[in-house]
Structures are given as C-alpha cells and as structure tokens.
Amino acid sequence: MPLYEDLKAKLAQNDILAGIIGLGYVGLPLMHSMCSKGVKVLGFDIDPSKAERLNKGESYLDTVPGDIVKQWVDANLFSATSDMDRLKEADFIIICVPTPLDANREPDLSYVESTAHAIARTLRPGQLISLESTTYPGTMDEIVKSILEATGLKAETDFYLAYSPEREDPGNKDFHTASTPKVIGADSPEALDIATDFYGRFIEHVVPVSSSRTAEAVKLTENIFRAVNIALVNELKVIYDRMGIDIWEVVEAAKTKPFGYMPFYPGPGLGGHCIPIDPFYLTWKAREYDVQTRFIELAGEINHSMPQYVCDKTAAALGGLKDKKLLVLGVAYKKNINDQRETPAFPLIEILEQGGAQVDYYDPHIPEILPTRHHPGLTGKSSITWDPAALGAYDAVLIITDHDTVDYGTVRDNAKLVIDTRNAIKSPAENVLKA
C-alpha cells in the first residue's frame, strides 16, 4: 500500500507539512502545539488581514499571544496565507472552520462545504484530511467525502479521511491543546493508524475510536451533557429563588458529596461556539431517524430563556426599565477571554434596551463589539473606561461575565444596585440581588 507506507515514512522522518484551515480559537492553539513539537505548519484563512498579521508575528487572540506566534514565524515553522491553491503543499490538512446554526436553528455547514470544495480543487494523492469542527454523525462520510471524491480520487485509495473533534476550552489554565486527550475516528484501519500517528506527534494522549461517525457522536455527547446539566441548574435557580433559597449555596454544599454528583453552575445563559449550538446538530439529524430529542430541546429552551429572566429580575427590582441607566459588566461569553461568540450578554442588552433602558458595558477584554450575525445593532459599541466612582451614576450594574480583573467588592460598595448572575459577590449585601 504505497499511500500508507509513504505517509508512515514521512511521519517517521518528521518530513511533513500540516495545513490548518481556519486560524481562530481552534486553529491557532493547534498550530502552537504542532510547532512546539517541530511540525511545520502552513495556516490558511480566508481573511488576508489575519494572515498578514500572523506573518508579522502578531495575534488577535488572547489564547495565543503575539510572542508565541512570532516565535514560530521566526523559527520558520509557521506561516499563514489566504491562497487556498497552496493546500496542495500540505500532507495533512486540518479543517477548523465554524459550524453555526442558521436562522431556523438548523445546521449551517456552508463553511465546511466551501472548505471541502477548496481542498478538492488541489487535492492530490497522498494527503490526509481531518475535520475538527463539531457536527452531526455522518458529515465526513456524507458531505466531505462526497465532495472530495467528485474529483475522481477515492478515499482510502488515493487519500485518507479522519474526524478528530476539537476540545478547546479558552481560558482554561489546567488543560491546553496538547494535554487534552484527542479523540480520533476514521473509516479504515490505515486511515486511523495514520491519523493517530500524526496527532500523537503533538498530543500527549490520543483516543482512537472505530469510525468517524463515532468520533462525531463523542463531541456531541460531551456538549449535550453540559447543556442539559446547565439547563437543569438554571431551572433549579428559578425554583429555589421563588422559595428564598440561594442556588449557589445549594451547589456548594451538594458538591461536598464525593460520589454521585458533579457541580454545574447557573448563569445568564449559554455562550461560546459549542454548548448553545452543537446539541441542535443532533436534534436535526435525529429527525432523519424519526427520533425526538426532548431533553436537548427542553435544555435549549431553558438556557435560551435566561437573558429574559435576568431582565425580568432587573425590571422588578427597579420598578421598570424605562429611562433607567444600566451597566453590563462583561460581554465575553466566559471569564478572562476576549471571545464574544454566542454570548448571552448581547441578547440581554437588546432586551434591556427594548424595555427602554440605556445600557453601557464594561469589558477589559472586549473594547469594542465586533460584527455578529444575530446582533448587528450592537456592532461597534465600545466599552466604557473603568471608573469605580462612576458606578453610582447607574441605576443598576449587572454582572454578566465575572472577569478576574474586576474588583467586585468595589462594585458592591459603589453601585446602587448589583444584579449578580455569576455569584461574583459571595457575601450577602442589601444592594446585591442574585439572578
């Protein structure tokens, strides 16, 4: 089997070039892990300005700062381009593009499809293509494989396919790309062995599974688990609040049980590219098999309702929203990062403004709101300058993202009313309301 033997020989000699398509929150950390182990990387992004910045040793992500990018550029281990014709140079092509939902909350695989077509234009024998974007079981086989085989080349004969879902957790100080176990699925023993060998070069522990569909299902299962449990604790928050019980105190006590319980925490809604979106990929695919996904859909409804719940609590505390001046603390979807994808802060701001409130925000990681598909009216809105003395000018301050750099004791001491959705202020205070 010349294809298999040639790739194994290249891997043994570390004589390979990896191409990463999509230089964002998945692609850049992956590049860093590869270069750290001496794997040469050619990065692809449709935005020429991103490629230009990276080639200058600059970065646009907190998770992979510019000094790291510059280190690998200077070492001639990394360069970036927007020229998709150069895909033919890569032995291993890793797809890290978005998989959002459309306006009807159905899978939007347009980025995966357009990327597969771009690969197909220069596809050559001897390449392995791996998809890391989260999707429903069958995507590699039904979409990517079909597009690539339309060239006349055949999977497992002329090229290999694999699926290895990303497991990035931006801001996590305990786990990074290389130290997080990597699930790998492929539809032939040869493809699985090649993919496992490749990823094993820069990932500490790889977990092979029997097929690409199994690997696709693994990622969905991980994210559905989180979505359902977060929805459960959000529902308990609402119930216990009516009873005068603090959900945060309940969770802290419950997690002292050393077995049979895992803590999840409530919040103002779900954010990030995975948890609010990925479960609905399975919901959509399950219809093909005439199966209802009731847990997933109910969890989605509960989590989606949380911004409105926070708004209602705020309005009740203030006697209405009209002409109220409000400050939202944090618009990133999670603490200590500059990632605004699917953040619950955006629908919350819109709901508050629709109620007649004037809303400002402060976020040390997001000085200006970037364009989004669903919240175009917020594009360009800028963070205020931090001034504790100015907090008293607002009718309420809403803690939506609990960045560590904010002194919440100062917030409590200077604000008239604090709506705390993250338990950032743990000591009871008359002007602090949990939501």
Planar angle of CA 310, 368, 412, nearest 5 degrees: 45
**E strand residue ranges, 123-181:** 127-131, 159-163
- How far apart are alpha carbons 73 and 57 in whole angstroms? 6
- Whether 280 and 296 have beta carbons less than 8 Å apart is answered as yes
Within 10 Å of residue 75's Cβ, how many Cβ atoms?
11
Give me the catalytic one of 35, 96, 274, 311. 274
User: CA-CA distances (angstroms) from residue 107 to 74, 96, 99?
Assistant: 39, 16, 7
CB-based contacts of 31, cutoff 8 Å, min separation 6: 20, 23, 41, 43, 64, 72, 78
DSSP codes joined into one string, 199-230: HTTT-S-EEEES-HHHHHHHHHHHHHHHHHHH
- Whether 224 and 231 have beta carbons less than 8 Å apart is answered as no
- How far apart are alpha carbons 200 and 39 in whole angstroms? 12
Q: Is residue 274 among the annotated active site residues? A: yes
- How far apart are alpha carbons 435 and 432 in whole angstroms? 10
Contacts 24+ apart (CB under 8 A), 280-284: 280/101, 280/105, 280/106, 280/107, 281/99, 281/107, 281/134, 281/135, 281/136, 281/220, 282/136, 282/137, 282/220, 282/224, 284/106, 284/107, 284/136
- Per DSSP, the three-state class of 126 is coil
Q: Treating both helix axes as pointing N-terminal to C-terminal, what angle do 66-74 and 27-36 enclose, rounded to 10 degrees?
A: 50
- Whether 431 and 414 have beta carbons less than 8 Å apart is answered as no
DSSP state of 85: G
DSSP codes joined into one string, 363-400: -TT-SBPPP-SS-GGGTT-BPPPP-GGGGGGSSEEEE-
- How far apart are alpha carbons 171 and 184 in whole angstroms? 24
- How far apart are alpha carbons 243 and 265 in whole angstroms? 18
Residues forming the active site: 274
